[in-house]
Amino acid sequence: MKQLLLISTLVAFSISANGQLDKNYWLVGGTGSFFSYNDDFTTTGQPTVSGKLTDINLSANVGYFFFDKFAVGVRPGINSIRSRGLNSAGAGTKNVAIYFGPFVRYYFLNTEKPFNILFDGTYQIGSHSNFEGKGVFRNASVMAGPELFFNSSVGMEVLIGYMYQKKSIDDTQSGFYFNNIKKGFNISAGFQIHLTKN
């Protein structure tokens, strides 16, 4: 983990570009999160089933500053959840979602500061698949937090906010219906690169 942080910092300092939050500049970056947890599932008349889940979420973004401090763009992403032992046979399952959608971002402080406070809102839609079939994936979030600039172009952000995620399957032919909603507090971290259009 320490080596990854050191490499990321060196890469950030070695990138050469101009500009930060001015009109007509590009914003390119991404975030990632990793969550591993144990889950115990109990239903009436059935034994408790235990398992371990690993949730990985990666997203990228490409945006454009139409006004000073205000950017609009697109954000694709992928979400993968793997489980081990959450059925009666003790077998594992996998759920993968691919999504895409717009985002808006606004920076509140003066553009000359070495850090800034930002608001980020996004909505994405896509598809997901697991052992039960394929369905629709929806993701929405409103986040805020600081971005610290290593130089005039590269910044690291840590955002906190609210996330809503919905996975659903509605197969009219088989009559199978599945609906899973996750919502609540969320934190993300990532890097952003601010580039000129030239």
Mean pLDDT of 165-180: 72
Q: What is the pLDDT of residue 40?
A: 63
pTM value is: 0.75
Query: Which residues of 12-69 form beta strands (DSSP E)?
Result: 25-41, 49-67
For residue 88, give the DSSP letter.
Answer: T
Q: What is the pLDDT of residue 46?
A: 62
Question: Closest by alpha carbon to 52, among 42, 40, 41, 37?
Answer: 37
Burial 134-155 (b: 16+ CB within 10 A, else e): ebebbbbbebebebebbbebbb
Instruction: Check whether 162 has a pLDDT greater than 90.
Output: yes
Instruction: Check whether 182 has a pLDDT greater than 50.
Output: yes
Mean pLDDT of 156-183: 80
Confidence of residue 4 (pLDDT cuts 50, 70, 90): very low
Q: What is the pLDDT of residue 168?
A: 84
pLDDT tens digits, 43-52: 566 666 667 7
Answer whether 158's CB lies under 8 Å from 187's CB: yes
Mean pLDDT of 165-169: 84
H helix and E strand count, the chain: 1, 8
Domains of the chain (ranges plus CATH)?
Answer: 2-196 (2.40.160.20)
Two tokens at 38?
């144990």
pLDDT tens digits, 64-109: 999 999 999 999 999 888 877 655 555 567 788 999 999 999 999 9
